[in-house]
Amino acid sequence: MKRINKIISVILAAASALCATACQNGSEAEGAGTTVGQTDKNGDISFTEAQTAAIDEEAPTGKVVYLSYESNFDSSDIVSLFEKEYGATFEQIMCQSGNAYFDKLGTLISTGSSPDLVRYEWKCFPHGMSYNMYTPLDSYIDIDSDLWKDMKEVAEQFIYNGKHYYFPHSITTSYALNYNNRILEENGMADPMKLYKENQWTWEAFEEMLKQWCDIDPKHIGYNGVDGMIFVLTTGTKIIDIKDGQIINNLRNENVSRCMLWLENMRRQGLIGAATDEQQVTGATSGYTDPGNAFVDGNLLFLGMDPSWTYNSAKESLDTKGIENEIKFIPFPRDELADKYYCGINTFGYLIPSGAPNVKGAVDWINFNRAEIADEDNIAEEKEKALSTAPTYYPKCPNAECGDKSENADDKGRHIYTEEENEAGISTCPVCGTQRKEKYKVIWTEEQYEVYEDLINPSGKFGMIFDHCYGFNDDITGLFAGTDSLMDGPMYHDLSFTNLLESKYNVLEGYLDNYRDIMKKNAEGETVTYPIEEGTSE
């Protein structure tokens, strides 16, 4: 309870500091989050930007309506904790993911049925913001407050026309180089973790390691995983940047070209993906690889994927198969020509749709999530759990003949361990004496967890940057992802980046010009239209 009280006190301090600002900024509006919408004869929707108004900080949090495709959201621990501590309730509107998610939201906004909350997706910025689908939050959240100041550098990357519509409460580690150090040792190669710690983990060191690995055996693959975007970000340059009211296409930037030509050259040397006939005959693939299978045959050196689940998945797979392993991960290599060490990131957080009836409740939820992430007790607890060697058990007695007749039994009479019994570390059933069945558990090392903390710390050693190239419509996304795309083609499909650039650059500019025009209209207060595809709004 001390931890919860500490969290709430932080939130209340931030809220009281904002109250005067919210009242001043919202005095011209009639009701929080109001919006104007209409549907034309083609079914397309138009609505103007939501007007922000003051919220009563003393009012109850109330019911928060959440549009989502997460089937288990309402049963999560974080929701239960929020409802308990704030006296709140969640009502979930389910929908399909992808375009249907945005079309459903557009329909709800235009008909005056806005939810209070939606989860951030890549297409929220700038696509959703272009169509005024969200409420600006500057009147409700102070980015310079103690609660949010560490996220300021990240949040500033999501400003649209000078306003914050999205305050990410956490950074996710979607990009790291996962590897099995045991096979490096067996092949007489050095652990790249040492290079990382000595600040020598550079493009050149990465390439030399790929060459060394692939020279050992023709079946060896140097790198598989995410595409060229993450490597480009290590230069400190975004492919598509949005700042100062401008949408900037950096495809012809020297850093972008330099990086993509470097990757293309490594592909041609057979260092990236399954580049040879021999590799492909054995079933090896290029690009995405299931982390549970990636290191089983011992041929892959690096898998570029989200380590927060790849680390566990890869280690569990090798452990259960009895394969010797030492799974590790490190950041992507540093560009020697960059002014600092840059790391590409993903973010997690929530937005408040235009017309949301319970802005106060939604703001409470957003602040609560940030407080949970930033709380020092929570941070220490998560680390302790990751490093703990204590066994974890299944919740029920494994003996089908247990015979428990108490209220702590399932319908088959198997004892269900109570919270008190779990906390006491009871390892045998108090009813029948059967040994508890232990769950498989991945135990992190201190060294590896420190790297993990480096990757999620917004005020740490890296310049944390997010690329907006996947934040537009499907036409633009298709130019960057896929067999003949700008990011995948040179890395995995033997295509020339120079040729792809010449064939796709003007096409991309045409699409971006539409968004630039919308941004200008929004800045001038004009109404823009959100197209709804038939059959996707339900």
Residue range 152-198, pLDDT digits in tens? 999 999 999 999 999 999 998 879 999 999 999 999 999 999 999 99
Tokens linked to 343 = 């790391």
Residue 15 confidence (pLDDT) above 90: no
- Assess contact for 345 and 466: CB atoms under 8 A: yes
Tokens linked to 465 = 């940057």
Q: What is the pLDDT of residue 534?
A: 41
Q: At what angle do helices 376-387 and 446-456 cross, to 10 degrees?
A: 140
For residue 324, give every residue at least 6 positions away whose Cβ sits within 8 Å of its Cβ, in sequence order, or none. Answer: 182, 318
Among 271-285, 309-323, 354-368, 447-461, name the one with the lowest average pLDDT. 271-285
For residue 381, give every residue at least 6 positions away whose Cβ sits within 8 Å of its Cβ, in sequence order, or none. Answer: none
Quick one: what percent of the chain has pLDDT higher than 90? 75
Residue 222 confidence (pLDDT) above 80: yes
- In order of 214, 328, 413, the CA distances from 379 in angstroms are 40, 21, 38
Residue 284 confidence (pLDDT) above 90: no
Q: Find, among 524, 465, 480, the residue nearest to 245 by Cα.
A: 524
Among 4-8, 359-363, 372-376, name the one with the lowest average pLDDT. 4-8
Q: Between vectors from CA 496 to CA 492 and to CA 499, what angle results, nearest 5°?
A: 140
SS3 223: strand
* Structural domains of the chain ordered from first start: 2-167+348-381 (3.40.190.10), 176-345+466-495 (3.40.190.10), 393-438 (no CATH)
Q: Which residue type occupies 536? A: T
Tokens linked to 115 = 């939810």
The DSSP secondary-structure symbol of 228 reads: T
- In order of 60, 99, 369, the CA distances from 63 in angstroms are 9, 27, 17
Q: What is the pLDDT of residue 531?
A: 65
Q: What is the pLDDT of residue 451?
A: 95
What would you report as the CA-atom Rg of the chain, rounded to the nearest whole angstrom?
26
Q: Put residue 245 in one of left, alpha, beta given phi > 0 → left and psi -120 to 50 → alpha.
A: left
CA–CA separation, 518 and 535 (whole Å) = 25
Tokens linked to 482 = 């896929």
Q: Report CA dihedral (423, 426, 427, 430) to the nearest 10 degrees.
A: -140
Q: Exposed, middle or buried: residue 510 (CB in 10 Å: 0-12, 13-18, 19+)?
A: exposed
Residue 25 confidence (pLDDT) above 50: no
- Assess contact for 355 and 33: CB atoms under 8 A: yes
Q: Where is 73: in which H helix or E strand? A: none
- In order of 40, 340, 342, 361, the CA distances from 336 in angstroms are 54, 9, 11, 47
Sign of CA dihedral 228, 234, 235, 240: positive
Q: What is the pLDDT of residue 460?
A: 84
Tokens linked to 527 = 């109404």
CA–CA separation, 465 and 343 (whole Å) = 6
Among 72-76, 308-312, 342-346, 453-457, name the one with the lowest average pLDDT. 72-76
pLDDT band at 58 (very low <50, low <70, confident <90, very high): confident
pLDDT band at 52 (very low <50, low <70, confident <90, very high): low
Q: Find, among 206, 173, 197, the residue nearest to 311 by Cα.
A: 173
SS3 180: strand
